[in-house]
Structure 1
Amino acid sequence: MTDTQQNNISPGTGWQPVYIKKSRGAGFWVAVGLASFFFLCTLLFFILFVGSLVLNKALVTSTSLSARKHVEETVIEGSGESKVAIIPIKGILSSESAEGIFLEKPSIVEIVKQQLDQAADDTQVKAVLLEVDSPGGGITASDIIYNQITKFKTETQKKVVVYMQDVAASGGYYISAAADAIVAHPTTITGSIGVIMPLINVAELINRYGIKDNSIASGNLKEIGSPLKQMTADEADVLKGIIDELYLQFVNVVSTGRNMDLEAVKKIADGRIYTGKQALEKGLVDQLGYLEDAITLTKQLAGLTEATIIRYEKHYGMADLLGLTSNKLFQQNTIRLDISQLQDQSDTRPMYLWNGYSKRE
């Protein structure tokens, strides 16, 4: 029945108008689909968020033994009840944890301690082989790891050998000096014994654009290291004194660890880097070789004829993977000239770091 027919029906004839429901258009179903999609995404995100909070709470409140179990053993080779544990120490040495979306990834300092503790508690582990691939990093982080290694050796009487990979420079060498022996890969870059305090000065740049720094300080040396002011002679003297003290600490560590005369160490500790071969000639390493050579030496020092070689590895859960993914997701490849950014980059912390090292993930 058409609309015209419906309109022509007079009241009282017994006929009732019939209304025909129009079908939904394509736009309606697209809207429904999008709404459902966003609802499911929100629900999934909420479930993951709640789950990650529960997991984070469990990790934080768990005992140290439970935390250690999160690091698993992977058998590399060999057999027998006695084990040699390989512990990797890779990247910039830092005490700071890496933030993800849900969970924080433990710092390298925490990871090394966790794995050394696990090796200490395992009576089957007779020795540890540290795989070092690091240009160094923070002075405190380097010293903490060094102390962890020396403490492990003292308390367990287990041997520790370092196997240097691509780079074991500055703080990477600092921690290596704690080992009973050092094996360097033939292509290893090591050395860089010294301290660096990166400082950027943009005083002339900001003056060019009419920017003035009106900071108010309580003393002449309060703004020491500021990138917005030219460094004074007094400021330079203060910073140089700090650098000299931390440098002396570094050379003392090398002198003790390598059983070398302090003055002899100073002669080769001018900050330069060395190849594995040059380091061997200078007495900074014990031999050149590959991983299998380092394993053989470790077994010899531990008095083992056979051993199961294991590697400690962290297996990431869903929350860890989400955290790691977020770091990649939000990385910026653009370069901006920003004063606050320059201030962050001009961090006045001294470091045991080979500044020439650059690694892209």
Structure 2
Amino acid sequence: MSKRIIAIIIAAILVIGGIVVSAVGIFMDDSWKKTATDSDGISESVQSGSDSSSKIVKLSVNGTIEDTGQEESLFGGGGYNHQSFLKQLDKIKKDKDVKGVLLEVNSPGGGTYESDEIHKKLEEIKAKDKKVYVQMKNMAASGGYYISTPADKIYAGSQTLTGSLGVIISSTNYAELADKLGVKDESVTSGKHKQILNPMKDMTKEERNIMQSIIDDSYKQFVNVIKDGRHMSESDVKKLADGRIYSAQQAKSNGLIDEIGYEDDAIKALRGDIKSKNAQVVTYGASSGFLNFPMAAKSKLSSMIGLDDLSKYESLVKANNSPQPMYLYGE
């Protein structure tokens, strides 16, 4: 029997097992025993703490910030899902028992639109008198920093990379190669600028100026959210926002973060800020009716049948489908 067939059989057993476990309410560890699912389809798991009237929701942005238009599914990988994340932010805004949010960011950034959507919702959460803290992981660059700017306090690990404060529209010009191969562009357009960033033609000076004006608008917005969120002058922000990345130590020195610390440090400080030393720390997860499939089993299943790798390639293709402004490091 081939390894592939064995993997499929094991996967089927895991699926059936997950259904049975959910149906009869038999849970394998303490965290599952503390899981509850609301009508909005988002499950809530208690990680620590006993004060349910003062909850801290721990959220994660892990990966490129982009909207694939898909909800989290049973066989989805462990990457970032924009639609699900926005729903979680909406749930926090409505929940009167939530007093604080710890947003863990491990991202090189992503789309300007998606980053701004998250920023806006975090501002709405703060307007409900809820505290927002950020704890940066390996990297919180460009859009990863943009979504951090509303935070009341920003923590970063001693080896965190952040910064890359700027905008990019990536495009490749292979007009010369196409000419050598005898490949011609026969596109029919309605205006002379319809083919800006067409890789089959050189960009004119006028076209470059048009694209630069779009970049400048997005850059100005980036500067403004840093200025407002970090209480800096515009001139000070622009000195920092030249696209370079910063170490955690440099970021603390120049005012981009508040403290060098980790999750435990941020949780302790946030509990003090909301005046509840026993505040419950909860996490959210996707749930589908009575099929509240265990996250560990889901992750294992996705890995076994190769969907984790597939989602990475799918994400790469979608991210580069067409040129667009990005708050992104490493493009």
Normalising TM by the smaller chain, what interval?
Answer: 0.7 to 0.9
Query: What letter corresponds to residue 277 of structure 1 in structure 2?
Result: Q
**2:51 is aligned with 1:80:** yes
Tell whether the 8 Å contact from 1:128 to 1:160 is kept in structure 2 after alignment. yes
Map 1:115-130; keep pairs closer than 5 Å.
Answer: 115-130=88-103
Residue in structure 2 matching 1:327, options 307, 315, 330: 307
Query: What letter corresponds to residue 55 of structure 2 in structure 1?
Result: K
Map 1:79-228; keep pairs closer than 5 Å.
Answer: 79-81=50-52, 82-98=54-70, 108-154=81-127, 156-228=128-200
Tell whether the 8 Å contact from 2:57 to 2:102 is kept in structure 1 after alignment. yes
Secondary structure of the corresponding residue to residue 172 of structure 1 = helix
Residue in structure 1 matching 2:39, options 50, 60, 66: 66
Deviation at 1:108, TM superposition (A): 2.9
TM-score, normalising length: structure 2: 0.77
Name 2:203's counterpart in structure 1: 231
Q: Which protein has the larger Cα radius of gyration, Structure 1 or Structure 2?
A: 1
Structure 1 stretch displaced more, 212-221 or 260-269? 212-221
CA distance 1:78–1:323, change in 2 (3 Å): closer
Tell whether the 8 Å contact from 2:76 to 2:308 is kept in structure 1 after alignment. no
Name 1:303's counterpart in structure 2: 275
Query: What letter corresponds to residue 289 of structure 1 in structure 2?
Result: G
| Alignment partners' CA distance in 1, 2:239 and 2:310 | 45
Structure 1 stretch displaced more, 306-315 or 81-90? 306-315
TM-score, normalising length: structure 1: 0.71
Tell whether the 8 Å contact from 2:68 to 2:318 is kept in structure 1 after alignment. no
Deviation at 1:66, TM superposition (A): 1.9
How many corresponding residue pairs?
Answer: 289
State the structure with bigger RCO (CA 8 A, min sep 6), 1 or 2: 2
| Alignment partners' CA distance in 2, 1:342 and 1:203 | 22
Structure 1 stretch displaced more, 263-272 or 83-92? 83-92
Map 1:23-34; keep pairs closer than 5 Å.
Answer: none
| Alignment partners' CA distance in 2, 1:92 and 1:354 | 10
Name 1:352's counterpart in structure 2: 327
Tell whether the 8 Å contact from 1:195 to 1:247 is kept in structure 2 after alignment. yes
CA distance 1:158–1:231, change in 2 (3 Å): same
CA distance 1:88–1:196, change in 2 (3 Å): same
| Alignment partners' CA distance in 2, 1:298 and 1:329 | 36
Detail structure 1 runs of 4+ shifted over 6 Å in the superposition: 99-107, 320-324, 341-344
Tell whether the 8 Å contact from 1:90 to 1:134 is kept in structure 2 after alignment. yes
| Alignment partners' CA distance in 1, 2:163 and 2:206 | 31
Tell whether the 8 Å contact from 2:61 to 2:80 is kept in structure 1 after alignment. no
CA distance 1:194–1:123, change in 2 (3 Å): same
CA distance 1:100–1:290, change in 2 (3 Å): closer
Structure 2 unaligned residues grouped into runs of 5+: 20-36
